[in-house]
């Protein structure tokens, strides 16, 4: 009996990672675990998007006895933006809890590492249980408070995304330059030039479209000012990146990185513009009238912002998923990303050699433990990043709209506009600092 229980437990623990990667090339346990957490985030994102679809609420109302007058609140709870908030609240609570209990895990010998890398069945059951419990929270005040948490967490993840993009751009630039130097293939140089031109073209086209659609009305001085400031900022740090003094102390700097960051800042600018509550300056603003029951049990008609899946949401979620995937597959030897999710990790790139023997002995298992001597990344920081990513997903799906504390209806406000505008400036300042810091402090190691 004990042996049987052990086998069942094994199926629910580390074997999940093995089964996940069985059809894939051999991979490290540290990589497969992070990918599985990323899949969980993706599943919640998909379910949240489905709940936001208006046809879901209409479908539920057609089910007999489910959405009667007395039970109609049930249908409202399991559909709409409230369902998105509750689902993401549950997953973010899970990641927040794990980020706390995983502090100071040094190697896979720690019993907490087994919890982090295994027990997937029980972890999924726990997430589902938290989600079920979250739907018993009916208060609109809860949604408003969680919206504030979402704003803060979303901004933090925007900064993380920028750091990941900088690291990706530097790695991309270095790999292609090394490829040209080693092989002499001019295709690498052509690729660098084409990619740089493409990102700058996207940034330029986006800026022109902003002036045409978001800043053409005389009343849109705020929009025009934001677009102009961010355009000037992108030009300034692009020039800085190719200055001889900067190139001397930071040879890896160049226009490719600046073009990627410029495109990202233009995207943040667009994300801020679509949050403006001024109809003349926001062609994407879709206001509708809805009937609700107020605190006096009286039907009243209020104006709210209609939620719909648009290009801004799609691009935002795509960038988020790519950022999470990039963080999942990076090794601890990459310094930029290690400062975010792998602080304190060791280089486990050679662990595969030791793992190959174990793979054969276990009958072809394609996942091996490469963290016996030390973790490849900080478990706590990884879960904290996933916590912020979940909040960012929640805010992106709901267009960063603010729920009313009394009526619960969504409305566009200046809060999310200013948060994204300031985030774009902070991102520009952070990237500029990565360029000038090595030249300003040549005695310090910024590698």
Q: Is 405 exposed, middle or buried (0-12, 13-18, 19+ CB in 10 A)?
A: middle
d(CA 278, CA 378) in angstroms, rounded, equals 44
Range of the domain at 346: 25-440
Contact between residue 369 and residue 108 where contact means Cβ atoms under 8 Å apart: yes
- What pLDDT score was predicted for residue 400? 77
Residues 6+ apart with CB under 8 A from 18: 365, 366, 367
**Domain count of the chain?**
1
Most confident listed range (17-26, 107-116, 199-208)? 199-208
Q: Is the pLDDT of residue 240 over 90?
A: yes
Residues 6+ apart with CB under 8 A from 369: 29, 108, 355, 358
Length of the chain: 447
Prediction pTM value: 0.76
Asked whether residue 1 is assigned to any structural domain, the reply reads no
Asked whether residue 207 is assigned to any structural domain, the reply reads yes
Tokens matching residue 357: 């023997």
| Mean pLDDT on 102-122 | 85
3-class state of residue 79 by DSSP: coil
Q: Count of CB atoms within 10 A of residue 218's CB? A: 8
d(CA 138, CA 105) in angstroms, rounded, equals 38
Q: How confident is the model at residue 49 (pLDDT cuts 50, 70, 90)?
A: confident
d(CA 300, CA 293) in angstroms, rounded, equals 6
Q: How confident is the model at residue 219 (pLDDT cuts 50, 70, 90)?
A: confident
Q: Count of CB atoms within 10 A of residue 152's CB? A: 12
Give, in degrees to the nearest 5, the angle at Cα 122 between 121 and 124. Answer: 70
Contact between residue 28 and residue 366 where contact means Cβ atoms under 8 Å apart: no
Tokens matching residue 395: 């805010």
Asked whether residue 92 is assigned to any structural domain, the reply reads yes
Contact between residue 196 and residue 255 where contact means Cβ atoms under 8 Å apart: yes
Asked whether residue 14 is assigned to any structural domain, the reply reads no
Between the CA of residue 385 and those of 157, 158, 244, 348, what are the distances in Å?
Answer: 7, 11, 36, 21
Return the higher-pLDDT residue of 132 and 371: 132
| Mean pLDDT on 233-255 | 89
Q: Is the pLDDT of residue 309 over 90?
A: no
3-class state of residue 250 by DSSP: coil
d(CA 103, CA 100) in angstroms, rounded, equals 6
Considering only CA atoms, give the Rg of the chain: 24
Asked whether residue 414 is assigned to any structural domain, the reply reads yes
d(CA 202, CA 183) in angstroms, rounded, equals 31
Asked whether residue 11 is assigned to any structural domain, the reply reads no
Residues 6+ apart with CB under 8 A from 132: none
- What pLDDT score was predicted for residue 409? 57
Asked whether residue 6 is assigned to any structural domain, the reply reads no
3-class state of residue 46 by DSSP: helix
- What pLDDT score was predicted for residue 445? 66
- What pLDDT score was predicted for residue 230? 96
The model's pLDDT over 148-191, given as tens digits with 9 standing for 90+, comes to 899 899 888 888 877 878 778 888 888 888 888 888 888 888 98
Asked whether residue 19 is assigned to any structural domain, the reply reads no
Q: How confident is the model at residue 70 (pLDDT cuts 50, 70, 90)?
A: low
Q: Is 437 exposed, middle or buried (0-12, 13-18, 19+ CB in 10 A)?
A: middle
3-class state of residue 313 by DSSP: helix
Crossing angle of helices 29-52/379-397, nearest 10°? 20
3-class state of residue 374 by DSSP: coil
Q: Count of CB atoms within 10 A of residue 194's CB? A: 10
Strand (E) or helix (H) holding 33: helix 29-52
Q: Is 336 exposed, middle or buried (0-12, 13-18, 19+ CB in 10 A)?
A: middle
């Amino acid at each position: 009996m004990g042996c049987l229980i052990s086998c069942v437990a094994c199926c629910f623990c580390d074997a999940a990672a093995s089964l996940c990667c069985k059809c894939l090339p051999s991979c490290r346990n540290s990589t497969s675990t992070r990918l599985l957490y990323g899949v969980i985030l993706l599943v919640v994102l998909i379910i949240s998007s489905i709940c936001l679809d208006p046809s879901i609420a209409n479908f539920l109302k057609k089910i007999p006895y489910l959405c009667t007058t007395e039970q109609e609140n049930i249908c409202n709870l399991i559909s709409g933006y409230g369902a998105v908030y509750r689902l993401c609240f549950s997953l973010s609570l899970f990641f927040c809890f794990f980020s706390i209990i995983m502090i100071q895990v040094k190697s896979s010998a720690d019993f907490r590492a087994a919890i982090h890398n295994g027990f997937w069945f029980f972890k999924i059951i726990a997430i589902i249980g938290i989600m079920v419990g979250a739907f018993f929270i009916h208060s609109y005040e809860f949604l408003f408070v969680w919206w504030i948490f979402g704003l803060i967490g979303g901004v933090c993840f925007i900064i993380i995304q920028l750091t990941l993009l900088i690291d990706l751009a530097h790695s991309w630039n270095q790999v292609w330059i090394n490829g040209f130097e080693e092989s002499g293939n001019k295709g690498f140089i052509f690729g660098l030039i084409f990619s740089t031109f493409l990102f700058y073209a996207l940034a330029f086209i986006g800026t022109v479209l902003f002036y045409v659609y978001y800043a053409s009305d005389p009343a849109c001085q705020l929009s025009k000012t934001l677009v102009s400031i961010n355009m000037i900022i992108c030009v300034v740090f692009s020039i800085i990146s190719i200055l001889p003094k900067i190139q001397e102390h930071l040879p890896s700097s160049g226009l490719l990185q600046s073009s990627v960051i410029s495109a990202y800042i233009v995207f943040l600018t667009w994300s801020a513009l679509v949050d403006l509550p001024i109809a003349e300056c926001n062609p994407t603003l879709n206001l509708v009238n809805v009937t609700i029951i107020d605190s006096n049990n009286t039907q009243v008609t209020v104006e709210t912002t209609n939620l719909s899946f648009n290009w801004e949401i799609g691009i935002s979620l795509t960038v988020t998923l790519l950022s999470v995937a990039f963080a999942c597959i990076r090794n601890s030897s990459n310094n930029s990303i290690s400062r975010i999710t792998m602080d304190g990790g060791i280089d486990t790139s050679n662990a595969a050699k030791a793992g190959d023997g174990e793979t054969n002995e276990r009958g072809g298992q394609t996942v091996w433990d490469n963290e016996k001597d030390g973790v490849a990344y900080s478990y706590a920081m990884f879960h904290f990043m996933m916590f912020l990513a979940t909040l960012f997903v929640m805010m992106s799906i709901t267009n960063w709209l603010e729920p009313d504390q009394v009526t619960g209806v969504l409305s566009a406000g200046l809060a999310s506009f200013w948060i994204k505008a300031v985030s774009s400036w902070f991102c520009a300042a952070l990237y500029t600092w990565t360029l000038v810091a090595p030249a300003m402090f040549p005695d310090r190691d910024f590698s």
